[in-house]
Structure 1
């Protein structure tokens, strides 16, 4: 198997917990309807691109997450302006709007996302950089495109695990995307994502989108879960000049599992910036 096409052992049957406590069906339907309307509005506005203020984009992304019943708590260091590579562990489709709520950025996404209903058009319209993960020979070109976007001052979001994990387990950060940051001389900002039930200390897997799970099944499970909290911990940027190669840089950006009593510091308001996200 290609290092560009990793797979996680997590599956819905083995890892994903049901929506407990569950919201009533009418409320879940209302949540999904609201999210769909918000995403359709995003598709309509996507051609405006950089003319939409970054703060509006952040608020819109937070609104999407909240509309489906998930509370958002962002902590840590403000994302700097200019070209930057945001890297995060990957649990759910929710990761995408959560990271855009930290800083609007271009998404590094697998080509299959183009086929997602509604969300695929939104991601493509936001300027995503698509990856053909099953074509190893396309990798150098993809790295060059990411480096070019970083040099132009864009933020690019990537999920270096290369696959979604359940949230209680995580994968190793693969190195390829970090070469783009080295080539462009752009900082890397790690972000740690965690989902839990309100009042619970252990990570929740209700938001996970893993294995053969379908997008609609995951959307419904999240919409039916009450008290789900998304925690976004933005770590200090890493200067690529402090690491000799992509292996070292990937290791430095790899998140360490937080303690069960993960505390929440106030977040410095992030600065503005560029177009979309990664998977």
Structure 2
């Protein structure tokens, strides 16, 4: 089996919530239609590519998440400029716009996504780097391609677990993608994503696992009431601070479940009075509501 093709034990039947606080069907349908409209607007703008300001991209992805009825709480450090490997645990399709709001980046995606309706077109148009996960021989070429993008000053998003987990369990970070950061000499920015219900504990409603369909996962999200996404941005790991990809992957691994307590910050581009600034690298808290 390819190192790009690990699997998770999570399945929709055993891990995903099917009951709970649910919105009225008309509101869920309205949310779904709004998400589709916003996505289609993004597809229409794809020909303009990288000429679109990064700030506009952040606004767009925030609108997608908010249109789905999800509030977002972002905490932690600010992502640096320049070449950057952005890594996170993987639970849901929602993870992608959440990370784009941290910093717009090229996504490392499995080749099958090209065939997805709407999302496939959007992903390909965004400049994603596609992986043929069942071809071990393609691994060195893929790592080299990622390293070239990083050297060019691009941020690249990767999910080193290699598979989605339900959120109440998580997998180890696999090492291959970290070699690209070592080869390019760029920092690694770890991000921890967690979903919960407002006033409650962890929620697996957004999970997109096993043989789950994208439509079923999207419907659970838009029909959930009080869903909150917590995005913890940890301090960037400086290039050269770890001797090999094994040590680098271990350093970027998310904290144990229940230990997600990063510092508070505002998103990149937010300006606050000097008197209110926290220590270097941190700004206060932000909530998308």
TM-score normalized with structure 1 length:
0.94
Aligned residues: 270
**Taking structure 1 as reference, are residues 110 and 85 closer, same or farther at Cα in structure 2, changes over 3 Å only?**
same
1:176-255 pair list within 5 angstroms: 176-200=176-200, 202-255=201-254
Query: What residue in structure 1 maps to residue 286 of structure 2?
Result: none
Q: What displacement does 1:263 show?
A: 4.9
SS where residue 85 of structure 2 aligns? Answer: strand
Q: What displacement does 1:264 show?
A: 6.6
Q: Distance in 2 between matches of 1:74 and 1:19?
A: 27
Query: What residue in structure 2 maps to residue 29 of structure 1?
Result: 29
Q: What displacement does 1:3 show?
A: 2.0
Q: What displacement does 1:240 show?
A: 2.7
Which stretch shows the higher mean deviation, 5-14 or 51-60?
51-60
Alignment RMSD (CA, Å)? 1.4
Q: Distance in 2 between matches of 1:102 and 1:26?
A: 31
Q: Unmatched 5+ residue regions in structure 2?
A: 271-289
Q: What displacement does 1:266 show?
A: 2.9
**Taking structure 1 as reference, are residues 265 and 244 closer, same or farther at Cα in structure 2, changes over 3 Å only?**
closer
Q: What displacement does 1:228 show?
A: 0.4
Of 263, 266, 271, the residue aligned with 2:264 is 266
Q: What displacement does 1:225 show?
A: 0.5
Higher relative contact order (CA 8 A, sep 6+): 1
Query: What residue in structure 2 maps to residue 49 of structure 1?
Result: 49
Query: What residue in structure 2 maps to residue 136 of structure 1?
Result: 136
Query: What residue in structure 2 maps to residue 60 of structure 1?
Result: 60
TM-score normalized with structure 2 length:
0.91
Q: What displacement does 1:258 show?
A: 4.6
Q: What displacement does 1:257 show?
A: 2.6
Q: What displacement does 1:271 show?
A: 5.4
SS where residue 240 of structure 1 aligns? Answer: coil
Q: Distance in 1 between matches of 2:148 and 2:49?
A: 18
Give a deviation string over 1:147-188, Cα, whole Å, max 9, x none: 000000000000000000000100010000000000000100
Q: Distance in 1 between matches of 2:239 and 2:3?
A: 22
In the TM superposition, structure 1's runs of 4+ consecutive aligned residues that sit over 4 Å from their partners are: 262-265
Partners of 1:179 and 1:246 within 8 A in 2: yes
Query: What residue in structure 2 maps to residue 82 of structure 1?
Result: 82
Query: What residue in structure 1 maps to residue 276 of structure 2?
Result: none
Q: What displacement does 1:143 show?
A: 0.3
Q: Distance in 2 between matches of 1:109 and 1:145?
A: 13
Partners of 1:19 and 1:226 within 8 A in 2: no
